Chain A
């Protein structure tokens, strides 16, 4: 990775090295939660929070943790923050917690968080690691929100639960189901790759 300046990291995580459409990480949740914008927003905010704090913690503890068990300790740290998010949701946003159900716990298995902890936080300072976690979460968020927007709009005719399409609109049932996320993710991948390749060829 060349260049560790904050703007370089932002650009990489959000665009040129996006966790979803370049690294193809965190696909499980991309398929699962994206038929509803509200769920997607809370879920991606959770991932951002967990990624940032995990990176800070891993970065701070990297001298103390023996190499042999660093993955296990990273998992422990991730699980810690995910459970914190779950506890906070249950206490202060019970409705959201009820509708997201088991998906909050599944943030633990999101490869983006583990990936950034291992690839970045292990070798960088805490502040820049926090930024890396936050921007990785942002890269994850915008792609998921885009997919969720299309799926909710065509699947239910709503945006954030508000009806925007006329009553006569026939919802596309396929958009509610997981397979549609494959198609949409494939399309996003295609467009993003095409733009990136075109830029590279232009140089």
Chain B
């Protein structure tokens, strides 16, 4: 067959595409279990962090999740538990960031006065800029933050706000739009959790 003939060209392209895509699907299915496990661990960690628990590397997060949330049921809009005598309500959130959907988990006191913890599950913000919402110093600011009137992610020093009573956290320097989006997402989430809880009572 001539190398520049139409049939040869189409044939080679089709065969090459088939082989490479086939190998990819092999690699994908070989790792899919591992990826799914990573995802489960990530979610379990997020729920624990949102409940105010410091998750360590060695912790068996899935077991810990069962002990913290005995009635964990992912089909419910939010999870409730009592931890150290305090009633908590923890719920997953999602909303649009600058480039794509931001998902995470937010934990609140049952009286909605303070945030217990916040964890980001996934985002597609710019790495090194908006992507820094996933850094520990940023997320730690939410822990114990006063949030009766919602929270404000302000343009601050970008080093982290330590005042837990002002309802404010430092935004990400150079990523104002991601910070603004996240502020809206969190405040919407607080309202949603309030009405979900109210509706149940």
Contact = CB atoms under 8 A, between A and B. Distances in A.
B110 to A, nearest CB: 31
Given A91-B35, A100-B127, A73 B28 contact: no
B128 A39 contact: yes
Interface stretch (A6-14, A18-26, A60-68): A60-68
A36 B16 contact: no
A176 B31 contact: no
Contacts of A66: 3-4, 8-9, 12
Given A73-B13, A94-B42, A177-B174, A35 B129 contact: yes
B64 interface: no
A84 B123 contact: no
B8 A176 contact: no
Interface residues of A, number: 36
B134 A98 contact: yes
Nearest to B121: A98
B135 to A, nearest CB: 9
Nearest to A103: B127
Contacts of B134: 98-99
Contacts of A67: 3-4
A101 B129 CA distance: 12
Contacts of A35: 128-129
- Taking chain B's interface residues, is the majority helix, strand, or loop, or is none over half, making it mixed? helix
Contact of A91 (B34, B122, B158): B34
Interface stretch (A75-83, A111-119, A126-134, A192-200): A75-83
B150 to A, nearest CB: 27
B122 A98 contact: yes
B173 interface: yes
Contacts of A91: 31, 34-35, 38
B17 to A, nearest CB: 6
Contacts of A1: none
A88 B9 contact: no
Contacts of B8: 66
Identify the interface centre among B27, B28, B125, B127: most chain A CB within 10 Å of its CB. B127
A80 B24 contact: yes
A80 B25 CA distance: 10
Contacts of B28: 87
Contacts of B127: 32-33, 36, 39, 99-101, 103
Contacts of B27: 83-84, 87
Contacts of A36: 127-128
A39 B123 CA distance: 16
Given A80-B23, A83-B24, A99-B134, A90 B38 contact: yes
A79 B21 CA distance: 10
Contacts of B31: 87-88, 90-91
Interface in B155-199: 158, 173-174
Given A65-B12, A87-B27, A100-B127, A171 B38 contact: no
B87 interface: no
Interface in B88-138: 99, 122-129, 131, 134
A73 B16 contact: yes
B151 to A, nearest CB: 23
Lowest 7 A-B CB distances belong to which pairs? A91-B31, A35-B128, A91-B34, A94-B38, A80-B20, A176-B174, A36-B128
Given A68-B9, A102-B124, 13 more contacts: A32-B127, A36-B127, A39-B128, A66-B3, A76-B16, A83-B27, A87-B24, A98-B122, A99-B127, A99-B131, A171-B158, A176-B128, A176-B173
13 contacts: A33-B128, A36-B127, A61-B16, A67-B3, A67-B4, A77-B20, A87-B24, A87-B27, A91-B38, A92-B34, A100-B127, A101-B123, A102-B99
